[in-house]
């Protein structure tokens, strides 16, 4: 199925729901009794990058045909690095990488460990670029 402005909106809605669910989980965990806040914080610190790294891979897969420069290229490079390079940002000979021009400003060789704010900023930029590419 070709991408449309509706598919971009559906992606926005899906991502917003997943971010809300994550933030609700964090809020509920913070209020949980019977577990120390130190243990809760440690569990969330482990869960957060795994969750948002996987969400980024899913976002890339949803719009895989739209990679180029900008946020789209950044998402592609991050997803490929997560899947094929153990989560370490790895250069792609076919794509130029300028950390200063990227949303997350990660350098080649850095470990990818997204948090909610990182993912949200990158996702917003990515979907804006996809949407712009669909405009007549």
What is the model's pLDDT at position 5? 76
CB 78 within 8 A of CB 133: no
What is the model's pLDDT at position 120? 96
What is the model's pLDDT at position 27? 81
Cα–Cα distance measured from residue 20 to residue 63, given in angstroms and rounded to the nearest whole number: 22
What is the model's pLDDT at position 11? 92
CB 78 within 8 A of CB 126: no
Kindly list the averaged pLDDT for each block of 10 residues, start to end, along the chain of length 136.
Answer: 77 93 84 69 88 96 79 95 97 90 97 97 95 84
What is the model's pLDDT at position 1? 47
Residue 96 in tokens: 């130029």
The structural domains of the chain, with segments of one domain joined by +, span 5-134
The two most distant CA atoms of the chain are separated, in Å, by 56
Could you give the dihedral angle defined by the CA atoms of residues 43, 58, 111 and 18, in that order, rounded to the nearest 10 degrees?
-30
Backbone angles phi, psi at 113, to 5 degrees: -145, 80
Q: How big is the CA angle at 84 (ends 14 and 47), to the nearest 5 degrees?
A: 50
């Amino acid at each position: 199925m070709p991408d449309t402005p509706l598919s971009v909106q559906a992606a926005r809605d899906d991502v917003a729901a997943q971010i809300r669910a994550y933030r609700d989980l964090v809020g509920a965990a913070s209020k949980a009794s019977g577990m120390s806040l130190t243990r809760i914080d440690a569990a969330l610190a482990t869960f957060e990058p795994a969750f948002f790294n996987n969400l980024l891979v899913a976002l890339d897969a949803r719009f895989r045909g739209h990679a180029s420069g900008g946020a789209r290229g950044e998402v592609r490079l991050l997803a490929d690095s997560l899947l094929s390079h153990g989560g370490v940002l790895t250069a792609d000979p076919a794509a130029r990488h300028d950390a200063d021009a990227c949303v997350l400003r990660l350098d080649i060789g850095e470990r990818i460990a997204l948090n909610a704010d990182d993912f949200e900023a990158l996702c917003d930029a990515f979907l804006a670029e996809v949407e712009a590419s669909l405009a007549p």
